[in-house]
Amino acid sequence: MGKDVLRIARANNPKMSRRKFIQLGTGAVVVAAVAAGGYYFFTQTPQGGQVTSATSASSATSATSTSSSWVKPASIRFDGWGGSMQDSERKIAFNGFEQEYGIKIVDGAYGQTSEIMSKIKAANGGEWDLVEVDNDTIYFGTMENLWQPLRLENIPNHDKLPDIFKTNGHGAFDPGFKDGVFHGIPGPMYGTTPVVINTTKVTPDPTSWDCLWDQKWKGRMCLEDYWITRMRDAAVHLGQDYNNITDVDAIWKALSDQQKLVFKYWESGAEMETELTNGEAWIGDLWGGRVQKLAQRGVPVKTLLLPQTEVWTDAFVVPINAPHRYEAELLLNYMLDPKVNVALALEFLYPPIIDSQYIPADSLEQIKLMPDFVGNNYDKLGFANTGYYNDHKQAWTEKWTSIMSGA
């Protein structure tokens, strides 16, 4: 079953499945939001007055903070994953924002991205100012016309993101990107799904994706059960473009061959942690932050960032009819401030979303210890294109389910 991409909020929850809640394409209404090459946007003045307009993406404009009639609100609303993630965002970011701007942040939380999308759609927005989701949900919400275009002039720290994140994965999860319109910004950290090995059993370190097809590890390989991860890694192994697969039969053969080596496909990160800890799994994949915590507990494991390792992020979106759109953009910008962004990264053991050149020198050595950190070598990372895989979801998930079961 296709599940949503794990976000950093979930990466520290040992009971949470990586892609627990939103199925690619489930509930996504791909309709007139992009009809005739245009998007329907809801623009809003800083005071909160709404103007509804139908316009092409390339010409969408709206009011900014330069308006002299802006009245600062007493509070704005932020909705996220809740739990320890949001508690830390409160401690590190929200309290500082409140002190700097004199605007209280009212915390809300939800359990699944499908839940918050359904609520926003049913109410036509109007309650939510800034929502933290995941990069795939930018795509689905944009297709359902749930997110407003972001006004980057109000988010100058967006310029501090590396190109892969500044461009939303080069358009991998934002259908407005090609027209210069952004419906979400990744952050506050990024993570990867790298190869993980038991350092006492797998030597020397593998240097290519071929290691996940090596007969030596038959019965000792444990891999995530997510169809997109499996297909994209197989494509890299075969030298195909994972966002434009030209020989899908070769992908299925490779995955069928791999299935014979795998003793288990894991659904939750906790499952893989257990297999690595008890020594059953010698090679597989797991998110870098989890591997770092295992290593800190003395488990002999390490990650391998092979070329085009899968990358994922959380993301921020401003829903339609947000009552405090400008202030939401201020908060987003604040969370991308290098000091705030790095402090959040150090809290969760995932690299900050800002480009490595903006990481303060006194924090860089700690950041370098994070398994997911690539420095300025962002070409090591690659996003799976949400729309591309959604277009093939039904046929490909059925085939993957069959292969995974050994049929």
Single-letter amino acid, residue 37: G
State the alpha helices, DSSP H only, in 108-204.
Answer: 113-123, 135-143, 163-166, 168-171
With 0-12 CB in 10 A as exposed, 13-18 as middle and 19+ as buried, what is 71? exposed
Counts for the chain of helices (H) and strands (E), in that order: 16, 13
**Residue whose C-alpha is closest to residue 244's, from 137, 370, 388:** 388
Is the omega angle on the peptide bond into residue 307 within 30 degrees of 0, that is, cis? no
Contact criterion met (CB below 8 Å) for 56 and 40: no
Domain parsing of the chain, residue ranges? 8-39+71-189+314-377, 195-304
Cα distances (angstroms) measured from residue 38 to each of 57, 169, 382: 6, 21, 28
Domains 8-39+71-189+314-377 and 195-304 share a fold: yes
Q: Write the DSSP symbol of residue 92.
A: I
Question: What's the pTM?
Answer: 0.83
- Closest alpha carbon to 5 in 310, 242, 275: 310
Q: Could you give the CA distance from residue 10 to residue 282 in angstroms, rounded to a whole number?
A: 24
pLDDT at 218: 98
Structure tokens at 374: 């690539």
* C-beta of residue 222 within 8 angstroms of C-beta of residue 196: no
What does the pLDDT read at residue 68? 58
pLDDT at 178: 85
Average pLDDT of adjacent 10-residue blocks, the chain of 407 residues: 35 39 37 32 36 30 51 96 92 96 96 94 96 95 96 97 95 91 95 97 97 98 97 98 98 98 96 98 96 96 96 96 97 97 94 96 95 95 96 97 94
The top-level CATH class assigned to 8-39+71-189+314-377 is alpha beta
CATH dotted code for 195-304:
3.40.190.10
Q: What is the pLDDT of residue 55?
A: 31
Alpha-carbon span 251 to 377, nearest angstrom: 27
pLDDT of residue 85: 87
Neighbours of 28 (CB within 10 A): 22
